[in-house]
Amino acid sequence: MRKKLLTTSSEGLMEDSYPYQLYQKAKKFGVWNPQHINYSQDQEDWKTLSVKEKEWMLKLLAQFQGGEEAVTLDLLPLLRVIAREGRLEEEMFLTTFLCDEAKHTEFFRLVLNAIGEKGDLSHLHSESYRKLFYEILPETMERLWHEQTPEVIADAATVYNMFAEGVLAETGYKSFYDGLKTIGKMPGLLEGIDHLKRDESRHIAYGTFLLQRLICEHPHLFDRVVKKLEELAPLSISINAEGVIGEGEKGKEYSSEIKKYSEKQLIVRIEILAQAKGQTIEEIYRSAGGNPKL
């Protein structure tokens, strides 16, 4: 039985809370429509790409298409947990989060349609990719349907927000964006990735906030989160190495750069989460989630 409705009580909305501010950011900066992007030049550019460029791009498109579908499917259990806990401002933001992921799924499908790739691309999902998106992510998120302990919620936020988005996707989008800039083609794809990067910054910021809140309330979770991230790190290195374009020394140099970038993302996430151990819950709710890029 519901105890009360917050917005008609004396409590109202926590308008100065970080989740509510993220909700405002989502309304301001997250309003874009994949249908409004012009893919006609991408259609023409695709015909002019080399075989190597097409192979590289198609593999990344297949990975991001599958990844965005996966995170769209797997977010709902977390939203339900937050709603059942009565955290209205967080739930309000998570509704925009889920809408963002649906748009990302639509965007990559529109790109694939534009270049005429409508066949089965699942063969481009590597063993490391399948391990994360076919096994670890759905299994971790689905546990939330049956268990809502701080440990299970922390595992979900670690795998979904901190790793899949904060380490893997952020590094992957950098690799994809840099490669497209080097090629100098596919403007519609570039435009969409720009939108996606902004959306993901809000998602990562929320995941950071959620884990900071959990660690503040249950300090022992910090070691659990760090251990989980360290266990997942080899998957990030493996998957992101597959997204590097280029051969010879140049390819090796960029591959090394991407590896360092991925490792840096991991270190930064851990350092930010460590700060929660010395904060009060009030400070967590009114902090910037440790992420200024909103």
Cβ-contact 251, 244 below 8 angstroms: yes
- pTM (2 decimals)? 0.88
In a domain, 2, yes or no: no
In a domain, 9, yes or no: no
| CA 257 vs CA 175, 201, 224, 283: distances in Å | 10, 21, 28, 36
Number of domains in the chain: 1
Tens digit of each residue's pLDDT (9 = 90 or more) over 70-127:
999 999 999 999 999 999 999 999 999 999 999 999 999 999 999 999 999 999 999 9
List the domain range (segments joined by +) for residue 162: 37-285
**CATH code of 112's domain:** 1.10.620.20
In a domain, 24, yes or no: no
Tens digit of each residue's pLDDT (9 = 90 or more) over 228-275:
999 998 888 788 776 554 454 555 565 677 677 777 878 888 888 888
In a domain, 191, yes or no: yes
In a domain, 28, yes or no: no
In a domain, 31, yes or no: no
In a domain, 22, yes or no: no
In a domain, 15, yes or no: no
Question: Which residues have CB under 8 Å from 172's CB, separation 6+?
Answer: 60, 63, 64, 239, 240, 243
